[in-house]
Amino acid sequence: MSSTTKLPSHEVQNITLNEGFFSRRSLFDWLFALLAVVGGVYALMHYNHAMDVYEKAILIGTIPCVIWLGWFWRPAARLMLGVAVVSLLAIWLYGGDLQRSEDVFLLKYFISSQSAILWMCMLFFMSTLFYWIGMFTGGKDEADRYSGNALELLGSRLAWAGVALALIGTMVRWYESHHIGAGIGHIPVSNLYEVFVLFCWMTALFYLYYEMQYRTRALGAFVMLVVSAAVGFLLWYTLVREAQAIQPLVPALQSWWMKLHVPANFVGYGTFALAAMVAFAYLIKKQATETRWYKLAPLWLLGIVLCFEPIVFRSSVSGMSSYWAVYFGVSALIVATIILGRKTIAARLPALEVLDDVMYKSIAVGFAFFTIATVLGALWAAEAWGGYWSWDPKETWALIVWLNYAAWLHMRLMKGLRGTVAAWWALVGLAITTFAFIGVNMFLSGLHSYGTL
């Protein structure tokens, strides 16, 4: 082609539309990037005394990651800005004196760490309720229901609010830990209470991303069930152990590795749980017209999972049996509702292909982060205990989780695994992951026994 040859008009149009990455950034994007840099520099200047050289490097590396996330998904940028503003408000209201949490109205009832986390719990429960009510209202057309179902929209908004309050509670708890006493301050991901908060908001946030990407809120009813189950455990654990109290770190946890290993681990846990609940929705849609009771295995499995906590914890503490009785009753009601309304639910769920795709992408993201977390954990172990691997129960079950999802992805990519088998496998994966997450702490002892029940 000579230099004077003109391209066809449609090719010229395609070239014109192919803008560069930075040219697509809006004024809001650049303002967000500026605020992220300013916030990072401010934290580095004012809190450098509480950080070692590695933690300063993590902070500096976090700035471009935050900017990329905000540019990749603008709702995340708005969420981060809102969390930052309210967290800074809480810090300003404290003024370095934690006793003010009993005197200042906003701190006492809304934005101290414990108040914010309790609000998170209530909002996630309400979100689950409205998602389920919305499931049985409105039409069957998914596009109309996404834009016009007010109850599902309310469930989504409450989930966003719950994520925001969880993050605010986490940030304020981090601040509070540094003002309790010298050497106590740490990122709040060190015990069962703190990581359950992490699990709740991370699972919900990943779901909200897929909700917007696929323009369907029908899956919220399923995904928020597992979040609400985690909230139920968190409330019980708080009542039993007074786990909301901030405790000094044990020596092995006094490491900057914790800031990397634990969040990466819980990206995996959260997305694996999300994939399992989508798999459950897949099986419901697949077997919606089934009338034989023994063919409704996914529903009975849900009943077993939801009732697992009452069965295990009902006699753990005297006087708490009534709590688990209510929990058991709510779980039985949920299972009965799904059994009786399975045809209506199936009609409102997205296509099987969409469910399969969400399940695959969730597991792929979770596997990538879980792999990173496992490698980081080995490096941390080498520093803390002198060896990369010791076949500790937690390490062993982490390997089982990794092998399970590695096999799932291998079968998917190499052998075309799809459909019912893939969905059942994802549900089994959740059982394995749950035992690795909390079962090891309950039934086994080892080097990782920091969150015993």
- The conformation of residue 250, written as its DSSP 8-state character, comes to P
Three-class secondary structure of residue 259 per DSSP: helix
Backbone phi, then psi, for 449, in 5-degree steps?
Answer: -80, 65
Q: Is the residue at 161 inside a domain? A: no
| Number of neighbours of residue 375 by Cβ within 10 angstroms | 13
Query: For residue 410, is pLDDT > 50?
Result: yes
From the CB of residue 86, how many other CB atoms can be counted at a distance below 10 Å?
Answer: 20
CA-CA distances (angstroms) from residue 44 to 52, 93, 174? 11, 21, 15
Confidence category of residue 129, pLDDT binned at 50, 70, 90: very high
Last residue in a domain, options 72, 96, 131: 72
Joined together, the tokens standing for residue 256 give 């900057």
Residue 432 belongs to some domain of the structure:
yes
372: in domain:
yes
Does 37 reside within a domain?
A: yes
Domain boundary at 54, 72, 90, which?
A: 72
Q: How many domains does the chain have?
A: 2
- 128 found inside a domain: no
Q: What is the mean pLDDT of residues 118-136?
A: 95
Q: Is the pLDDT of residue 177 over 90?
A: yes
Domain boundary among 72, 105, 134: 72
Does 81 or 302 have the greater pLDDT score?
Answer: 81
The pLDDT tens digits for 267-300 are 999 999 999 999 999 988 887 766 666 666 666 6
Cα–Cα distance measured from residue 337 to residue 350, given in angstroms and rounded to the nearest whole number: 19
439: DSSP letter: I
Question: Contact at 8 Å (CB) between 158 and 127?
Answer: yes
Per-residue pLDDT tens for 201-219?
999 999 999 999 999 999 9
**In which domain, by residue range, is 369 found?**
353-453
pTM as predicted: 0.90
Show the DSSP H helices in 52-185 as ranges: 53-72, 74-94, 105-106, 113-135, 142-148, 150-180
- State the pLDDT at residue 301: 65
Of the listed ranges 18-27, 249-258, 377-386, the least confidently predicted one is: 18-27
In a domain, 41, yes or no: yes
In a domain, 408, yes or no: yes
| Tens digit of each residue's pLDDT (9 = 90 or more) over 103-124 | 999 999 999 999 999 999 999 9
Mean pLDDT, the chain, as a whole number? 86
Report yes or no on 171 lying in a domain: no
The DSSP result for 19-87, as a single string, is --TGGG--HHHHHHHHHHHHHHHHHHHHSGGG--HHHHHHHHHHHHHHHHHHHH-HHHHHHHHHHHHHH
Chain position carrying tokens 């795709």:
357
